[in-house]
Structure 1
Amino acid sequence: MQQVAIVTGGATGIGQAIAQALVNQGMNVVIAGRNQQRGEATAKELGDTAFFVQADVSQEADVQHLVAATLERYGRLDYLINNAGVEGGSGGFEDTPAALLDDVLTVNVKGVFLTMKHAIPLVLRQQGGAIINIASFVGTTMPIASAAIYGASKAAVLSLTRAAAAGYADQHLRVYAVCPWMTETPMANRLSGPDPDAMARYAAAINPSGQLATPADIAQAVADLLAGRTELPNGEAVLVDHASALSRIMPMTVA
């Protein structure tokens, strides 16, 4: 029977690349996102094994609908990839309104929590399923004052990852965090502004490779983890650079 994966935020950028990689591996993939037109277009582009469900991961009713629609269509869920997220701008502490803090934490932290809450019971049925939460180098390896709230949200994603791994390890659930270095995505383009060369300069200064990672690099790392081609202790996080170069951060092994 074909394996089934949910990819939140799967219509653009890293999420779309992950969805494509999993379709290429023969999986049925459910793409979740807020923009129906964009999501349906992406699912159509990916082919018959992709399916779009409109869902805002910060809304529990939407998440419940997403999981129920997956079960109704495919009868199972093997993998959850929590990719949906927002950047929250690039202002410093003094320039960041409280409402923006609420927005970022609601999507990036509450959204990850809610999807795990409702997807885990289905994944556990497979006795070998996995969850991958997409975090970032920001806030986990490198503190950046102008991205403090985004970094805080991604640090929280690591904490949720480890809590889930510890809580369900005895039920054969693998939970990982994938933390991209500077990656060429629409989100990064918004943060870097109108200068087309800004991202490349940032990557040259920040990324160990000196080059921008690509969504395909991140997708390959995710696909390798799910397939067991990359051995990573349960509950840990891995940084992903250009050409899918991996390095572990803050090890914490869960039995």
Structure 2
Amino acid sequence: MTSDYHYTYFRVPKTEDLTRSAQRYRDLRLQALKLSPSSFAATYESEALFTEEYWKSRLSQQDRETFVCAARPAKSTASTGDDLEWVAQLTLLGPRTKEEFTLPAASGQPEPGPDEKEERWQLLGLYTLSSHRGRGIAKRLCAEAIKYLVGYRAEPKNVQVRLMVKWGMEATARLYQQLGFEEVGSCTLAEALIANGEGDLLPEGYEVQEKFCARGGHVMLQRFTRDRV
């Protein structure tokens, strides 16, 4: 079936004016939080209050890379950028140190190797607008992120990409398995928030709250070697 859209996949550059990109990133992020609240630890109500400068900072942080799929109507003969709609995005955090990547033994996650032997990234925030699902966009977007990591640097050769899926999101976990991730352990909500760089969302006294300390989330890894991809 011929698509009614042309899709473009890219990493958001940090060297240009981020005003327009931040607006598009914010709009898609807030749509995701409003339409699929159970998929995220953050809430629409909290992030809707963030300032423009905050959204710009999310895109410009040195340890944060954002990848986007933008759609343009097929009937459009030329694009100036104004007719592009961001329809999917994901974020990579990294590289992460061994200490940052390590989880308690109870998680079942394998212990990371030495920093000089392997590179580690955290994947988060993958979301595709429902009107554009079923077109392989998530797979292509993940492939774009992996392609970036392959060329990020020559050493170390071994790379791990980790993500965490909330308890009860079995369909989401299966999707990631189809994208090449394997389940290697379980996590708490607190561990997931910290790993995703959102530890500031944890309330005071979370250590004694079952919601944050129950171990039920999925820990998933994709491993690859740079010279074998």
Which interval holds the TM-score relative to the shorter structure?
0.3 to 0.5
Choose 1 or 2 for highest CA Rg.
Answer: 2
The structure with more strand, counted as a fraction of residues: 2
TM-score between both structures, scaled by the size of structure 2: 0.33
The structure with more helix, counted as a fraction of residues: 1
TM-score between both structures, scaled by the size of structure 1: 0.31
